[in-house]
Structure 1
Amino acid sequence: MTAPGTVETPVQFRALARLVPSPKEFASAPPDRPAVWSMPAAPLTGLLDLDGIDRILRDGLPADRVRVVRRGENVPESEYTWGGRPIERPFSGDVRPGALSALLEEGSTVVLDALHRYWRPVGDFGRRLAHEVGLPVFATGFLTPPGRTGFPFHHDERGNFLIQTVGSKVWRVREPLLADPLTHETSATHSPTAEQLARFEREPATLETRLRPGDVLWIPRGWLHSGTATEEPSVHVTVGFVPMLTRYWLAGELVRLLASPDEEFTGFRRELPWGLHREPDRLAATVSEVLGELLAALPRLDARGLAEEVALSVRRSYPEPDRSPAAALGARVDEATRVVLVNESLFDAERLPDGRLRLRLSDTALTLGGPAADFVAERWERDDEQPWCAGDMPSAVGGAAAVSVVRTLLRAGVVRRSP
């Protein structure tokens, strides 16, 4: 029997290798300064192009997935949705392509938020990238008309890859005004002043670069950046990592546990005296008292339980495995149906003490036993995208049982059909 424990598999950097020349080095220590790489264009330009954007917008996109930016400010949704027009109510909040065309012609930038959730090329890429780096991925698409600047200098609270897929864009990057911004310290609350923006126009940037299709710009957390399209329309995809896991965030999760109804923590539910803010000395004494109670309570928290809760929360932030519910419902699966194990659909594979294999997804798990478990574990360890079928499983599994395993994995998104 195979020893219990996590089934280790070396990470194959298939997605990250499309973005940086040294993926293993990047994953272990992301640069703390901006960097630019010219990578092979073909594997990246297919993420999003002009035809893809047209297809997204024509197919009926809810307005909450789109932003339109005009001179650095968000355009009201009423200017580019069907609202107020004679159309079926469920679609009144959808984007109106004709209105977007007019806004683009006048120089506005179209932003496609959460692109990884509904555009297959970016979703597949992001799912694999998240698996490789160990963080959920968030992707956004940008279409900027020629000669226009989408946003003035701003920062993001997470590191981002900027992937140029169509046209070109000149980016200027500057040192952070706020080091290591937290999630609530956005550009809306910590933007450069008018005086600083004027100075930025006079002084050279820390980095100025022109991105062309296949070029990738890494912007670390907090660095100011602004991009201007050149003589043709520009499309780029921004890929970042969320939620941003900081020690501050984890400390907040610890404090959140004090809301537990357990008797030992109910004291934190007590209301503070009314009018306390009018008595500075009494307020200071109360702050000291609560601080003492907090320091005494923290060691009693269930650290292991919190770790499991945090892990589950982060797993749920990942994109779900790619599933085809309707196709799976009526799909015919037999011993010759060729499939590929999708490692990025799983968080880990664990051998249980009884020899079974547990495949952990975002918030569920599948368990396999016997020779079928050994067969799937071997392919998990390989992570090589080699096709296989139920007929390749050991004869001890049995033909009908092997087909049932493939069907179960297919419906869960753990395997996909091989072309």
Structure 2
Amino acid sequence: MSPRSDHRDPGADSGAGVLESRLLQIARNEFADDYWARRALLTRGADDFSDLFSAAAVDELISRRGLRAPFLRVAKEGRTLPDTSFTAGAGVGASIDDQLDDTALWRHFADGATLVLQALHRTWQPIADFSSRLGTELGHPVQANAYITPPQNRGFDDHYDVHDVFVLQISGTKRWIIHKPVHPDPLRDQPWTERSAEVAEAARGEAMIDTVLRPGDALYLPRGWLHAAQAQGEVSIHLTLGIHNWTRYAVAEQLAQAALARLRDDPAMRATLPLGTTGPDDQLDAVRTALTAALAEADPAPAFRRTRRGQARPAPLGPLAQLAALDALDEATPIRLREALDASLDGNRLNTRVGWLDLPDTDLERVRRLLDGRSVVAGDLGIDLARRLLRSGVALPDDR
């Protein structure tokens, strides 16, 4: 493996402190030591979240953005409604039959259903920027959903999530009832429905938290913590920032895959079992020995980084603006690395979320300046290198 030269996300500087400045009223290290992945935390008046989302944003997304069914769910009294009950064809010229039907959604909402706008980190830019910054700071990818619940209604019964969440109350009020886990730290393939009886029994016990969230409040829940929420006397809108936790189990998966990849190159491991074999018993000692040796030598880091990069997307790139920047490129053009690339230099290779580039030694120091988040004029960077970085989508003109 090539030596690791540098690893930097230029979005990290602009995102530094978002956890403390907007979600907490305690120091980051106190949160890390006492709450992260351990216990719930309620923060009153954490911040004004109106810049992230609003009732007007809900109406625009539903009625004007042409969203399709994967970007919205509808739930009522613990039951998720079928997509066909709130979607319709997109009209002439569009071969789409699952676009949101705002009239149908209005009728469901008026009848007490909760609207769940999903993946807002892909469809609403203020939330996309915030989620990217928070994910950079936490080291775990972040997704965002919005829950819009009519007065005195709730969309989901008591349940737990398989990822940590921050709940941000945007408008209205909502009562949250929180219980300790019945299955601490569930993995992504261990949903609450596998333990529905335990969840229902635990929900009948004394709550750890029973509170009403008001606009500006933030609630942190580690994965596995049971919760149910009900809107109070007005429409409630809250954001749920889902943190898709990397776990030791995930690292073990990457390590095992790396070890198995090594064993593929071992002729003894590819050998056929004896004729008439009825099981692996007489082969287990040899296989265990080889697997143990492969695990000791395997490096899960490359697969870990590839998987991590695939769990998020880089900052937006406009193809027309990028082409215009290439056409107008001269020595005075300022260039910056595209944000949220998860860029790293491994030897002479620049790895990013949008692919990799092999660089000559003469370009490495100039690329490191970009990795530090600095803007570099094309003349100092080198016109050929600047053009290559722009064309590959790794760099953008710095017009901020």
Q: Shorter-chain TM-score: what band?
A: 0.7 to 0.9
Change (3 A) 1:272 1:335: farther
Which of 34, 38, 60 is the matching residue for 1:55? 60
Alpha-carbon distance in structure 2 between the residues aligned to 1:269 and 1:125: 55
In structure 2, the residue matched to 1:277 is: none
- What amino acid does structure 1 have at the position aligned with 2:288? L
Which of 14, 18, 23 is the matching residue for 1:19? 23
Correspondence list, 1:349-364, <5 A: 349=345, 352=347, 359-362=350-353, 364=355
Change (3 A) 1:341 1:20: farther
- What amino acid does structure 2 have at the position aligned with 1:14? G
Deviation at 1:223, TM superposition (A): 0.4
Deviation at 1:313, TM superposition (A): 1.5
Which of 175, 180, 185 is the matching residue for 1:175? 180
Give the stretch that moved more between structures: 134-143 or 72-81. 134-143
Which of 319, 323, 326 is the matching residue for 2:313? 319
Show structure 2 runs of 5+ residues with no match: none
Q: Does 1:67 align with 2:60?
A: no
- Report SS of the residue matched to 1:90: coil
- Report SS of the residue matched to 1:164: strand
Deviation at 1:224, TM superposition (A): 0.1
Alpha-carbon distance in structure 2 between the residues aligned to 1:145 and 1:240: 22
Show structure 1 runs of 5+ residues with no match: 274-281
- What amino acid does structure 2 have at the position aligned with 1:6? D
Change (3 A) 1:308 1:232: same
Q: Does 1:412 align with 2:399?
A: no
Identity %: 28
- Report SS of the residue matched to 1:210: strand
Which of 237, 248, 252 is the matching residue for 1:235? 237
Deviation at 1:109, TM superposition (A): 0.8
Deviation at 1:295, TM superposition (A): 2.8
Structure 1, residues 157-193: CA drift from partner, whole Å, max 9, x if none?
Answer: 1211111222222211101111221222102222246
Q: Does 1:119 align with 2:114?
A: no
Conserved 8 A contact 1:160-1:220 = yes
In structure 2, the residue matched to 1:139 is: 144
In structure 1, the residue matched to 2:302 is: 308
Deviation at 1:309, TM superposition (A): 1.8
Deviation at 1:93, TM superposition (A): 1.2
Q: Does 1:345 align with 2:341?
A: yes
In structure 2, the residue matched to 1:153 is: 158
Structure 1, residues 391-410: CA drift from partner, whole Å, max 9, x if none?
Answer: 7x64xx56x55xx6278358
Change (3 A) 1:103 1:7: closer
Deviation at 1:305, TM superposition (A): 4.5
Deviation at 1:86, TM superposition (A): 6.7
Q: Does 1:78 align with 2:84?
A: yes
In structure 2, the residue matched to 1:6 is: 6
In structure 2, the residue matched to 1:212 is: 214
- Report SS of the residue matched to 2:88: coil
- What amino acid does structure 1 have at the position aligned with 2:393? A
- What amino acid does structure 1 have at the position aligned with 2:289? A
In structure 2, the residue matched to 1:390 is: 377
Q: Does 1:165 align with 2:170?
A: yes
- Report SS of the residue matched to 1:205: coil
In structure 1, the residue matched to 2:105 is: 100
Q: How many residues align?
A: 385
Conserved 8 A contact 1:127-1:345 = no
The alignment's TM-score, normalised by the length of structure 2, stands at 0.80
Q: Does 1:33 align with 2:35?
A: no
Give the stretch that moved more between structures: 253-262 or 222-231. 253-262
In structure 1, the residue matched to 2:289 is: 296
Alpha-carbon distance in structure 2 between the residues aligned to 1:408 and 1:337: 13
Alpha-carbon distance in structure 2 between the residues aligned to 1:271 and 1:117: 55
Change (3 A) 1:9 1:249: closer
Deviation at 1:266, TM superposition (A): 3.7
Alpha-carbon distance in structure 2 between the residues aligned to 1:372 and 1:296: 45
In structure 2, the residue matched to 1:328 is: 322
Conserved 8 A contact 2:269-2:287 = no
Deviation at 1:25, TM superposition (A): 4.4
- Report SS of the residue matched to 1:146: coil
Conserved 8 A contact 2:314-2:338 = no
- Report SS of the residue matched to 1:149: coil
Deviation at 1:321, TM superposition (A): 3.1
Alpha-carbon distance in structure 1 between the residues aligned to 2:276 and 2:256: 18
Which of 368, 376, 379 is the matching residue for 1:377? 368
In structure 1, the residue matched to 2:248 is: 247
Change (3 A) 1:136 1:271: farther
- Report SS of the residue matched to 2:100: coil
Alpha-carbon distance in structure 2 between the residues aligned to 1:272 and 1:249: 37
Structure 1, residues 317-361: CA drift from partner, whole Å, max 9, x if none?
Answer: 1223322223212344555555665553334356x4xxx7x5431
Conserved 8 A contact 1:38-1:215 = yes
Change (3 A) 1:408 1:146: same
- Report SS of the residue matched to 1:140: strand
Deviation at 1:76, TM superposition (A): 0.8
